[in-house]
């Protein structure tokens, strides 16, 4: 399977412009043969554009989510639509299973090649340190995995990386590729690289960490989107510029590594 991480620039609060960027990136990835494209966390509004969260929020079937579903179908790719601000009341009114009947969530959606919604993940761990996310948003309550191109794809978002037990739960669900749409800022470069690699090593799985490449009033995202194999080896990575990170993944690699180094079988609880 060919995987593409779209490391996108973002304009704070301008959903249309940001989705336009995503559309161009997905088209480029499809032209390069990508089967699955991963977009960054809150690429639609910009993570640090807190004052725009409520204004741009919508239900899970809203116009932005629908536009992204059409984007997957138009290019015949799987698309993990990084995340967008979801209005839980609108989603609940439309019959969606939500963690609350009101409030906002940081929501990533996995669309298949036909644009059908296959998984919804609402960020579990909300960032509180010098950030309004924990105050403005409602945390999710359920894991999200989906079968795609021979992989069981697990979904997580950014700050989740600091909680290894979350990734072990995904591994217990059979995840062989974990995608991590993110908005990770400077100066925590070493944290970004170390935590992403550690989650791959300890769970003997692929980890695809897709970060943004944008500057906001109070923060700059550090880019460095990277794909790690089950040994923690870097397969492809970027600097801090807007770009695509493209690499090939082999689903059989997971079983081979776990057979050679069966650490998961030695686990004791």
Which residues make Cβ contacts (< 8 Å) with residue 179, sequence separation at least 6? Answer: 38, 80, 153, 154, 155, 156, 208, 210
Say whether 179 is catalytic.
no
Q: Which of 58, 86, 133, 158 is catalytic?
A: 158
Q: What letter does residue 240 receive in the DSSP assignment?
A: S
Look up residue 15 and give its two tokens: 């959903």
Q: Which residues contact 265 (CB under 8 A, 6 or more apart)?
A: none
Asked about 41 being catalytic, the answer comes back as yes
Helices 189-203 and 164-172 cross at an angle (nearest 10°) of 30
Query: How far, rounded to the nearest angstrom, does the alpha carbon of residue 214 sit from its chain's CA centroid?
Result: 16
Q: Which residues pair with 185 in a beta bridge?
A: 221
- Of these residues, 41, 58, 86, 133, which one is catalytic? 41
- Which is the catalytic residue, given 58, 123, 133, 179? 123
Question: Annotated catalytic, 2?
Answer: no
- CA 255 and chain centroid, separation: 24
Task: Compute CA 252 distance to the chain's CA centroid, rounded to the nearest angstrom.
Answer: 23
Catalytic residues: 41, 123, 158
């Amino acid at each position: 399977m060919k995987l593409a991480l779209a490391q996108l620039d973002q304009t704070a609060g301008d959903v249309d412009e940001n989705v336009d960027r995503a559309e161009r990136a997905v088209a480029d990835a499809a032209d390069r043969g990508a089967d699955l494209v991963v977009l960054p966390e809150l690429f639609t509004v910009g993570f640090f554009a807190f004052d725009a969260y409520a204004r741009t929020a919508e239900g899970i079937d809203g116009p932005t989510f629908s536009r992204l579903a059409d984007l997957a179908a138009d290019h015949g790719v799987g698309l993990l639509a990084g995340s967008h601000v979801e209005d839980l009341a609108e989603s609940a009114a439309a019959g969606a299973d939500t963690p609350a009947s009101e409030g906002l969530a940081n929501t990533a959606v996995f669309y298949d090649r036909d644009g059908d919604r296959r998984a919804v993940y609402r960020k579990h761990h909300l960032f509180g340190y010098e950030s309004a996310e924990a105050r403005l948003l409602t945390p999710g309550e359920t894991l999200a995995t989906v079968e795609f191109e021979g992989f069981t794809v697990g979904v997580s978002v950014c700050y989740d990386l600091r909680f290894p037990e979350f990734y072990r739960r995904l591994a217990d669900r059979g995840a062989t590729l974990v995608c991590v749409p993110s908005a990770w800022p400077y100066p925590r470069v070493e944290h970004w690289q170390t935590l992403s690699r550690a989650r791959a090593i300890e769970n003997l799985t692929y980890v695809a960490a897709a970060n943004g490449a944008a500057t906001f009033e109070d923060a700059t995202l550090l880019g460095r989107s990277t794909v790690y194999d089950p040994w923690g080896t870097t397969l492809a990575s970027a600097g801090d510029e807007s770009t695509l990170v493209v690499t090939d993944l082999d689903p059989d690699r997971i079983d081979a590594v776990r057979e050679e180094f069966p650490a998961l079988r030695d686990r004791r609880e």
